[in-house]
Chain A
Amino acid sequence: MTHKVEGWHRRQFLAGGGGALLISTLPTVSHADEADMIRARTELFGGRDVQEGRVTVTLPPIAENGHSVPITVDVDSPMTPNDYVKQIVILSPRNPLPTIGQFYLTPRSGKALVSTRIRMSGTQAIQAVAEMSDGSLWSGRMETVVTLAACVVL
């Protein structure tokens, strides 16, 4: 008998509070996927080819939470007036918005290395694309495991 009452209460809990709790933890926005990221890249750079290489993305292998993850993007470039990095873009295949940040460099930068802190809504491979002064596009990627249920992060 007691079991029945407990069971009923549990069911009531699940139908009421538990259900509401579940709904409130569901993501409120649809997340981007790989295709959204490529679409964002195409909007930024047109249909130009993106080659792999010359760009090194550094992230911690595991991020305890996605609120603030340190990222460094290092591009192999001489940074001379004739051959330099014009722009670096950081892209996400899983955040609500695929474009994370854009950084504009000049030959006066001296070194094509930028660091910042980003938000990550879940485990994903962050991509960085570098646009060179000759118009060529290069990319690098690194995957980070985000342990906090990060749909609440963004």
Chain B
Amino acid sequence: MAGIRLAVPKTARQGEVLEIKALIQHDMESGFRRGSRGEVIPRDIITRFECTYNDELVFASDFHPAIAANPILTFHTVATESGEFVFTWTDQNGAAWSDRTSIEVV
């Protein structure tokens, strides 16, 4: 698990609105499904996503069970200065996965 795929521009002009895509491989088991013997499959979902840009939070999301498996998000942020994006996903038990990309702003 925890295959992360990011689509973030490598370079941008200052003030440009950037489109960011972030995907993580995760079953997002809703807790409403039943297995072959009728037993309820326990809920196991990612509940929080955060994106920081040079340590400042620029976007966050709370996921509920109706977010599809392998959750993908598209959102935007303004290019302010060169630096680093950090993307963090946290599940219902507090386990976290993260990845980072750098950007050059001219």
Contacts and interface: CB of A to CB of B under 8 A. Distances in A.
Contacts of B72: 115-117
Which secondary structure characterizes the binding site on chain B?
strand
B80 A114 contact: no
A110 B34 CA distance: 42
Interface in B58-106: 58-69, 71-78, 80
Contacts of B53: 108
A109 B78 contact: yes
A102 B61 contact: yes
A119 B73 contact: no
B7 interface: no
Interface size class of A (residues with CB under 8 A): 20 to 34
B32 A96 contact: yes
B90 to A, nearest CB: 14
Interface residues of B, number: 32
A97 B64 contact: yes
B69 A68 contact: yes
Contact of B32 (A99, A102, A154): A154
A99 B64 contact: yes
A103 B75 contact: yes
Nearest to B60: A104
Contacts of A109: 58-59, 75-78
Contacts of A119: 30, 65-68
B13 interface: no
Interface of B: 17-18, 30, 32-34, 38, 40, 53, 56-69, 71-78, 80
Interface of A: 24, 28-29, 67-69, 72, 92, 95-97, 99-106, 108-111, 113-120, 152, 154
14 contacts: A29-B32, A72-B74, A96-B32, A97-B64, A99-B64, A101-B62, A102-B64, A103-B61, A103-B75, A108-B53, A117-B68, A117-B71, A119-B30, A154-B66
